[in-house]
């Protein structure tokens, strides 16, 4: 049976939203930790705002709150139904997409998704403060892992699988690029501190946001260095959240679609363009070009992949 | 009309167990303390996990509930079922013949057997259907007949559902759950299978594909979307049949034919099992502001390029005002006496009948002519004086908007209530498929009023469901 | 008489419309009062249109267009030979039972006092219908006192081109609805007719009514002009009322501007 364009769209966005919910939790965790360790007056708020900016949520936040502290930011990123990127909104959107394609996903996937939403929607924001916040952030990550596990363990390797996987890794690439860019925002006003103690601390947190602070040691056998960390999150093919890894993964799944449908589409070309950015380059070139500019190019190219994918397979 | 004491389907008046319930009775006696309660908890977990929920209208947006499932099955003997199914088959054949007639020569109106105005001025009559030749002459392919039992041998048809009857997924899931919960009980009884329904539905739909369709017609289930109260059922049936589950936006007409938008381009659709009401089906022909439907789909249907199941306009045959004429309809088209009884129905536009109704309202059931799902309904004996007065006023204001029937003593079945077993009132909705042949799934959906003494079985009003067993000889 | 019709419909589809779907009732039937000599409906998507007969027996088109841009024009042209039958149409084949046209609709609701005088009439249906037609005229206003015969020259050579303005057509529709509603209330099947009328100084698109007589079959009544249709009338489509008999229905709902030229054609 041929797949509806809407079904493909729902599958793609289902896993994008699950990944996004997870990444929101990671991002908030980093922002929260940074704010806790800030030694300067007003530093906590500054960290939180730079984090919101990296997620392109700073303006939306400013419309709703005057003060950026842990409570307001946590509410905004976790529970605010009017923030389309909050964990609440992401899980709701993911579950709505799952419900629309109930017959195209497995029971295990549905149960995982439905369960996550039912549990999360019961939580009262005022009950989640301080230490409880970190616990809940961890819970969000775990539910995302559970969903992905159900997906990998149960679904047929057909076009639906390819759309789900593409959505997941397009979103992840976007997120990693934004986390790296946050570093840029954090550092911007104080470039004199590059390489200093605070700088290292911030890079550490960025690694943490990518769950990469331990694996870094396995790969580099070295203390944290900006050069290495950027290399790790951009160019290392063994790092499952690096830009190049995500790009390869999306490429493979778009190739699977081209194979299944017997035809290459515009999205395959857009993917090749994106790969050109991360293949055949090195960190020296990227830093020389400008990290921020590089990341912007990558995010744009990644968006083009989504746009062309939507057009190629009749999303609407 | 049955006795004042309701018929107990499990026990005779002397306390002995009726034959069809013997195995169940033994099984119940063997259950350990709290055994049923544990089973009940398991059942609820199964249903919630599977997402078998229905949306409750009027409650907070997005609220979804699991329909209560009772772990004690309802049992119908083979000979009882044979009689019932013959009556049902007769009824659906006659109703389809009636639909063909009112949308063609209207012989039954010319013969004066049904008042012409009742049909022609009825909102459920669809003039756009005039002269259309549906495949195999079938209009209502999927029918749910609501039946109540009041005595050992006495069944009444409460209403026919010929538009888009729902609930069949509960019939299937109840069986699924029951087999998981009590496999030992199944081993002791010969229960007729219901699992064939999706396959039979598919065959029925394929058998009414338009002439131009190939050997394997493409079938789509058209749903209003995930916020519809029966969305679970729509996706369940599509899944079980291997059909595409579509929303209006997934379909479009081109060159008078219907296509769905797939990842690899348009694919022709031959048969559409639509779960969208007539009014919302096609903004080009019906409600212009409908966002749910597919513009041009009705024209494509008239052009003979797609089959709509059920056909638009079938509502004229299950209209509550037309209901009273069904025995007449059976005689007119089949030349037979109706095998299943209609519930006597009082006509409030008749002055004498209305006076009698108003006098005796505390004993009667009042239903809105166009109401469904237990809304706009009053059961006299279980309502307050104030409610009686309220409905009297309503009837006087709009006598044509209500039908009134005697309160039937619905039969009771043993039901698990608070870790005990107690009798509760039940009804029955068998599901019928009409295509190349008439296929009736043995059993159907038993709805049970979980509140003591209540006669309202609708899920929206606190009713539950039971697995329904038809025993084989 | 031979009448040439030139009918243009311009549809302004809202910007950004993904798909426009049209339902066309723009093909006149041949019958006792008219023979269609030639007819063409042109417009984007017409070649691929779904063609079928609707519930009232009209020839209909289902036309769709993906991503339409700007204005869509449908151009209808043809010639019809008409015969004066004093309005009598008879019983054309392929039509639904006349009883269908006793159905009440929103547009054909009529106050009881309007038809009360006829309720117990012993007159023939034909006489009642003529009297009804007159009463509609008395109620909504009689046509101006211009003998229609003057307007058409015998040679038929001159062309009358008129723009359809808002005003006359709804008025004609109102006349027809009042007539139809009253007839139905008196148990006389009556239906709504959309067609063309060859008259100087007015629009070519017109609406009138037909009532059913057991003896004669369908008979046309034009309460707006207070006559039974003549050989200057071309029937296009029939239905219960104006709502069910639009020449063009669209999704998305769009503004339709219609321009009709009806002219007497020279017979070959």
**Distance between CA atoms of residues A228 and A207, nearest Å:** 11
- Measure in Å the smallest separation between the Cα of B250 and chain A Cα atoms: 7
User: Quick check: A109 pLDDT over 60?
Assistant: yes
Using DSSP, how many helices (H) and how many strands (E) does chain A show? 15, 0
**Distance between CA atoms of residues A258 and B344, nearest Å:** 65
Cβ contact, residue pair C60, B132, below 8 Å: no
Cβ contact, residue pair A4, B239, below 8 Å: no
**Distance between CA atoms of residues A44 and B145, nearest Å:** 67
pLDDT > 70 fraction of chain A, expressed in percent and rounded: 93
DSSP H or E run through B464: strand B463-470
C-chain residue closest to B121, CA distance: C103
Stretch 50-109 of chain B: residues touching chain C, C-beta under 8 Å: 104-106, 109
b vs e for B377-410, b when ≥16 Cβ sit within 10 Å of the residue's Cβ?
A: bbbbeebeeebbeebeebbeeebebbbbbbbbbb
DSSP H or E run through C192: strand C190-197
The pLDDT score that the predictor gives to residue B245 is: 95
Per CB-CB distance under 8 Å, the chain B contacts of C53 are: 131, 302
Q: Which of A1, A102, A313 sits opposite B244 (nearest CB)?
A: A1
The pLDDT score that the predictor gives to residue C166 is: 40
b vs e for B63-97, b when ≥16 Cβ sit within 10 Å of the residue's Cβ?
A: ebebbbbbbbbbbbbeebbeebbebbbbbbbbbbb
pLDDT by 10s per residue, chain B, length 473 = 434 689 999 999 999 999 999 999 999 999 998 899 999 999 988 887 666 665 544 444 445 667 889 999 999 999 999 999 999 999 999 999 999 999 999 999 999 999 999 999 999 999 999 999 999 999 999 999 999 999 998 999 999 999 989 899 999 999 999 999 999 999 999 999 999 999 999 999 999 999 988 889 999 999 999 988 889 899 999 999 999 999 999 999 999 999 999 999 999 999 999 999 999 999 999 998 888 999 999 999 999 999 999 999 999 999 888 999 999 999 999 999 999 999 999 888 888 999 999 999 999 999 888 766 566 788 888 889 999 999 999 999 998 888 899 999 899 999 999 889 999 999 999 999 999 999 999 999 999 999 998 888 887 777 899 999 999 98
Q: Do strands B463-470 and B431-434 pair parallel, antiparallel, or not at all (unpaired)? A: unpaired
C-interface mutation test, from B117, B295, B302, B305, most C Cβ less than 10 A away: B295
Q: Which of B225, B231, B263 sits opposite A313 (nearest CB)?
A: B263
Q: Do strands B271-274 and B219-222 pair parallel, antiparallel, or not at all (unpaired)? A: parallel
Cβ contact, residue pair B110, C240, below 8 Å: no
What domain count does chain A have? 2
pLDDT tens across A301-310, in order? 999 999 999 9
Q: Which two tokens stand for residue C84?
A: 């004066």
Q: Decide if B348 contacts B400 (C-beta within 8 A).
A: yes
Could you tell me if A22 and A141 lie in one domain? yes
Query: Angle A131-154/A159-187 helices, nearest 10 degrees?
Result: 150
Cβ contact, residue pair C102, B305, below 8 Å: no
Cβ contact, residue pair A96, B264, below 8 Å: no
First to last CA, chain C: 12
CATH of C2-264, one of 3.30.70.100, 3.60.150.10, 2.60.40.420, 2.60.40.2250: 2.60.40.2250
Residues on B contacting A at a C-beta cutoff of 8 Å? 49-51, 225-226, 231-232, 235, 238-239, 242, 244-247, 249-250, 260-265, 267
Could you tell me if A130 and A210 lie in one domain? no
Cβ contact, residue pair C99, B305, below 8 Å: no
C106, C88, C118: which is closest to C210 by C-alpha? Answer: C88
pLDDT > 70 fraction of chain C, expressed in percent and rounded: 88
**Distance between CA atoms of residues B98 and B89, nearest Å:** 14
First to last CA, chain B: 29
**Distance between CA atoms of residues B407 and A104, nearest Å:** 46
Q: Which two tokens stand for residue B270?
A: 């031959």
Query: Angle A131-154/A107-122 helices, nearest 10 degrees?
Result: 170
Could you tell me if A165 and A298 lie in one domain? yes
User: In terms of pLDDT, which residue wins out, B219 or A33?
Assistant: B219
CA dihedral of C232, C237, C240, C243, whole degrees rounded to 10: -100
C97 to chain B, any CB pair closer than 8 A? The answer is: yes
Q: Where residue A193 falls among pLDDT bands split at 50, 70, 90?
A: very low
Cβ contact, residue pair C49, B288, below 8 Å: no
Per CB-CB distance under 8 Å, the chain C contacts of B120 are: 99-100, 102-103
Cβ contact, residue pair B129, C96, below 8 Å: no
Helix-, strand-, coil-residue percentages of chain C, each rounded to 5: 20, 40, 40
Average pLDDT, chain C: 88
* B458 Cβ contact partners less than 8 Å away, ≥ 6 residues apart: B373, B374, B447
B-interface mutation test, from C44, C62, C94, C253, most B Cβ less than 10 A away: C62
Cβ atoms within 10 A of the Cβ of B357, count? Answer: 24
Look at A8-17, A33-42, B235-244, B269-278 and tell me which has the smallest mean pLDDT. A33-42
**Distance between CA atoms of residues B182 and B206, nearest Å:** 35
The pLDDT score that the predictor gives to residue C157 is: 37
User: Quick check: C95 pLDDT over 80?
Assistant: yes
The pLDDT score that the predictor gives to residue B419 is: 86
- Measure in Å the smallest separation between the Cα of C158 and chain B Cα atoms: 39
The pLDDT score that the predictor gives to residue A173 is: 97
Per CB-CB distance under 8 Å, the chain B contacts of A4 are: 244, 246, 250, 260-263
* B235 Cβ contact partners less than 8 Å away, ≥ 6 residues apart: A102, A103, B223, B245
Under 8 Å CB pairs connecting chains B and C tally to 94
Boundary-marking domain end, from A105, A132, A155: A155
Per CB-CB distance under 8 Å, the chain C contacts of B260 are: none
Cβ contact, residue pair C54, B254, below 8 Å: no
Residues forming beta bridges with residue C36, ordered by sequence position? C80
pTM, full prediction: 0.90
Range of the domain at A190: 156-316
Report domain extents, chain C.
Answer: 2-264
DSSP state of A4: B
Could you tell me if A130 and A172 lie in one domain? no
Cβ contact, residue pair B252, C19, below 8 Å: yes
C242, C179, C253, C182: which is closest to C206 by C-alpha? Answer: C242
Side-chain half-sphere CA neighbours of A264 within 13 A:
9
Could you tell me if A112 and A251 lie in one domain? no
Q: Which two tokens stand for residue A119?
A: 């549990």
Could you tell me if A145 and A34 lie in one domain? yes
- Measure in Å the smallest separation between the Cα of C145 and chain B Cα atoms: 39
C64 to chain B, any CB pair closer than 8 A? The answer is: yes
C67 to chain B, any CB pair closer than 8 A? The answer is: no
* A198 Cβ contact partners less than 8 Å away, ≥ 6 residues apart: none
Q: Which two tokens stand for residue C35?
A: 């023979």
Strands (E), C54-141: 59-66, 71-82, 88-90
**Distance between CA atoms of residues C25 and C244, nearest Å:** 10
- Peptide bond preceding C158: is omega within 30 degrees of 0, i.e. cis? no
**Distance between CA atoms of residues A147 and A15, nearest Å:** 9
State the average pLDDT over residues C134-161: 61
Per CB-CB distance under 8 Å, the chain B contacts of C21 are: 253, 284, 295-296
**Distance between CA atoms of residues C167 and C158, nearest Å:** 25
Under 8 Å CB pairs connecting chains A and B tally to 60
DSSP state of B195: T
Domains of chain B: 19-210+306-342+408-470 (no CATH), 346-406 (3.30.1490.270)
**Distance between CA atoms of residues C49 and B228, nearest Å:** 33
- Measure in Å the smallest separation between the Cα of B127 and chain C Cα atoms: 6
Residues forming beta bridges with residue B308, ordered by sequence position? B272
C91 to chain B, any CB pair closer than 8 A? The answer is: no
SS3 B260: strand
Could you tell me if A246 and A278 lie in one domain? yes
Q: Kindly give the residue spans of alpha helices, DSSP state H, lying in chain C.
A: 112-115, 125-140, 168-185
The pLDDT score that the predictor gives to residue B1 is: 42
User: Quick check: A68 pLDDT over 80?
Assistant: yes
C-alpha separations of A305 from A26, A123, A160 in Å: 24, 36, 17
State the average pLDDT over residues A31-47: 76
What's the distance, CA A23 to chain centroid?
4
B-chain residue closest to A116, CA distance: B49
Q: Decide if A278 contacts A217 (C-beta within 8 A).
A: no
Could you tell me if A161 and A186 lie in one domain? yes
C165, C240, C243, C230: which is closest to C204 by C-alpha? Answer: C165
Per CB-CB distance under 8 Å, the chain C contacts of B129 are: 55
The pLDDT score that the predictor gives to residue B54 is: 58
**Distance between CA atoms of residues B66 and B304, nearest Å:** 40
Q: Phi and psi for B45 in degrees, rounded to 5? A: -60, -40
The pLDDT score that the predictor gives to residue C158 is: 38
* C138 Cβ contact partners less than 8 Å away, ≥ 6 residues apart: none
B252 to chain C, any CB pair closer than 8 A? The answer is: yes
Q: Which of B110, B120, B132 sits opposite C103 (nearest CB)?
A: B120
Boundary-marking domain end, from A139, A155, A171: A155
**Distance between CA atoms of residues B318 and B163, nearest Å:** 8
The pLDDT score that the predictor gives to residue A105 is: 93
B65, B291, B245: which is closest to A100 by C-alpha? Answer: B245
The pLDDT score that the predictor gives to residue B53 is: 62
């Amino acid at each position: 049976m041929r797949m509806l364009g809407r079904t493909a769209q729902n599958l793609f966005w289902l896993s994008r939203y699950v990944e996004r919910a997870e990444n929101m939790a990671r991002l908030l965790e980093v922002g929260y930790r940074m704010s806790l360790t800030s030694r300067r007056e007003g530093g906590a708020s500054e960290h939180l705002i730079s984090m919101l900016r990296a997620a392109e949520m700073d303006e939306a936040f400013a419309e709703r709150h005057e003060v950026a502290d842990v409570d307001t930011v946590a509410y905004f990123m976790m529970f605010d139904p009017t923030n389309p990127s909050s964990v609440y909104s992401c899980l709701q959107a993911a579950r709505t997409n799952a419900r629309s394609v109930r017959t195209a996903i497995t029971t295990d996937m549905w149960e995982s998704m439905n369960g996550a939403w039912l549990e999360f929607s019961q939580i009262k924001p005022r009950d989640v403060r301080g230490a409880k916040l970190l616990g809940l952030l961890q819970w969000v990550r775990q539910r995302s892992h559970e969903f992905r596990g159900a997906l990998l363990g149960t679904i047929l390797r057909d076009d639906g699988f390819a759309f789900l996987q593409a959505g997941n890794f397009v979103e992840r690439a976007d997120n990693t690029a934004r986390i790296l860019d946050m570093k840029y925002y954090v550092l911007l006003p104080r470039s004199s501190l590059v390489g200093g103690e605070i700088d290292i601390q911030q890079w550490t947190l960025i690694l943490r946001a990518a769950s990469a602070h331990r694996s870094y040691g396995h790969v580099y056998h070295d203390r944290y260095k900006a050069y290495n960390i950027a290399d790790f999150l951009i160019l290392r093919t063994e790092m499952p959240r690096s830009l190049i890894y995500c790009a390869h993964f999306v490429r493979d799944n778009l190739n699977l679609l081209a194979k299944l449908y017997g035809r290459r589409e515009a999205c395959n070309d857009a993917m090749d363009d994106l790969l050109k950015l991360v293949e055949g380059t090195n960190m020296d070139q990227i830093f020389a070009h400008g990290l921020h500019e590089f990341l912007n190019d990558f995010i744009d190219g990644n968006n083009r992949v989504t746009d062309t994918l939507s057009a190629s397979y009749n999303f609407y | 009309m049955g006795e004042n004491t309701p018929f107990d389907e499990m026990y005779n008046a002397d306390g002995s167990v009726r034959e069809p319930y013997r195995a169940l009775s033994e099984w119940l006696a063997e259950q350990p303390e709290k055994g049923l309660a544990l089973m009940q908890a398991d059942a609820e977990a199964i249903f919630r996990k599977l997402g078998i929920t229905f949306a409750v209208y009027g409650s907070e947006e997005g609220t979804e509930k699991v329909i209560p499932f009772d772990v004690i099955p309802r049992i119908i003997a083979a000979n009882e079922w044979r009689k019932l199914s013959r009556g049902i088959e007769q009824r659906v054949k006659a109703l389809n013949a009636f639909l063909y007639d009112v949308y063609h020569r209207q012989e039954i109106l010319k013969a004066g057997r049904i008042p012409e105005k009742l049909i022609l001025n009825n909102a459920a009559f669809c003039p756009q259907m005039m002269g259309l030749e549906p495949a195999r002459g079938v209009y209502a392919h999927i029918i749910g007949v609501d039946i109540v039992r009041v005595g050992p041998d006495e069944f009444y048809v409460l209403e026919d559902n010929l538009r888009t009857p729902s609930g069949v997924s509960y019939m299937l899931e109840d069986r699924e759950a029951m087999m998981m919960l009590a496999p030992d009980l199944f081993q002791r009884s010969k229960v007729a299978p219901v699992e064939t329904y999706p396959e039979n539905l598919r065959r029925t739909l394929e058998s009414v594909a338009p002439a131009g369709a190939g050997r394997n017609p493409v079938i789509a289930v058209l749903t209003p979307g995930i916020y519809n109260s029966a969305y679970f059922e729509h996706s369940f049936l599509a899944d079980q049949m291997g059909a595409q589950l579509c929303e209006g936006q997934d379909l479009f007409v081109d060159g008078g034919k219907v296509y769905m938008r797939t990842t690899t381009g348009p694919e022709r659709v031959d048969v559409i099992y639509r779960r969208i009401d007539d009014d919302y089906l096609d903004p080009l022909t019906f409600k212009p502001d409908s966002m749910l439907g597919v513009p041009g789909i009705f024209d494509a249907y008239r052009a003979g390029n797609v089959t709509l199941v059920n056909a638009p306009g079938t509502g004229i045959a299950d209209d509550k005002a037309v209901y009273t004429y069904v025995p007449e309809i059976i005689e007119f088209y089949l030349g037979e006496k109706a095998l299943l009884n209609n519930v006597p129905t009082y006509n409030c536009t008749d002055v004498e009948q209305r006076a009698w109704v108003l006098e005796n309202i505390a004993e009667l059931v009042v239903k809105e002519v166009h109401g469904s799902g237990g809304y706009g309904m009053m059961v006299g004996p279980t309502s307050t004086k104030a409610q009686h007065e309220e409905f009297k006023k309503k009837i006087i204001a709009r006598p044509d908007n209500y039908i009134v029937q005697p309160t039937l003593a619905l039969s009771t079945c043993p039901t698990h209530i608070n870790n005990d077993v107690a009798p509760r009132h039940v009804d029955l909705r068998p599901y019928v498929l009409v295509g190349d042949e008439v296929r009736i799934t043995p059993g159907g959906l038993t709805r049970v009023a979980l509140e003591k003494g209540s006669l309202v079985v609708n899920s929206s009003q606190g009713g539950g469901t039971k697995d329904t067993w038809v025993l084989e000889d | 008489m031979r009448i040439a019709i030139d009918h243009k419909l311009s549809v302004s589809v809202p910007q950004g419309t993904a798909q426009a779907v049209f339902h066309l009732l723009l093909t006149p039937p041949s019958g006792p009062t008219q023979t269609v000599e030639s007819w063409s409906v042109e417009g984007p998507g017409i070649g691929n249109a779904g063609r079928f007969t609707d519930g009232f027996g009209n020839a209909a088109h289902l036309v769709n267009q993906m991503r339409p841009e700007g204005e869509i024009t449908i151009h209808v042209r043809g010639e019809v030979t008409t015969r004066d039958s004093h309005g009598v149409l008879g019983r054309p084949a392929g039509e639904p039972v006349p009883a269908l046209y006793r159905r009440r609709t929103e547009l054909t609701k009529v106050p009881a006092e309007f038809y009360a005088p006829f309720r117990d009439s012993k007159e023939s249906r034909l006489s009642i219908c003529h009297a009804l037609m007159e009463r509609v005229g008395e109620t909504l206003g009689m046509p101006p006192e211009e003998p229609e015969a003057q307007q058409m020259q015998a040679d038929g050579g001159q062309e009358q081109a008129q723009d359809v303005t808002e005003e006359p057509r709804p008025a004609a529709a109102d006349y027809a609805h009042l007539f139809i509603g009253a007839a139905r209330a008196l148990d006389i099947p009556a239906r709504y007719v959309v067609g063309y009328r060859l008259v100087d100084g007015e629009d070519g698109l017109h609406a009138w009514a037909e009532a059913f007589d057991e003896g004669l079959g369908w008979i046309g009544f034009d309460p707006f002009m207070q006559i039974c249709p003549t050989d200057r009338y071309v029937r296009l489509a029939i239905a219960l009322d104006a709502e069910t008999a639009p020449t063009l229905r669209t999704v998305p709902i769009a503004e339709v501007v219609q321009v009709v030229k009806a002219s007497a054609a020279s017979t070959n």
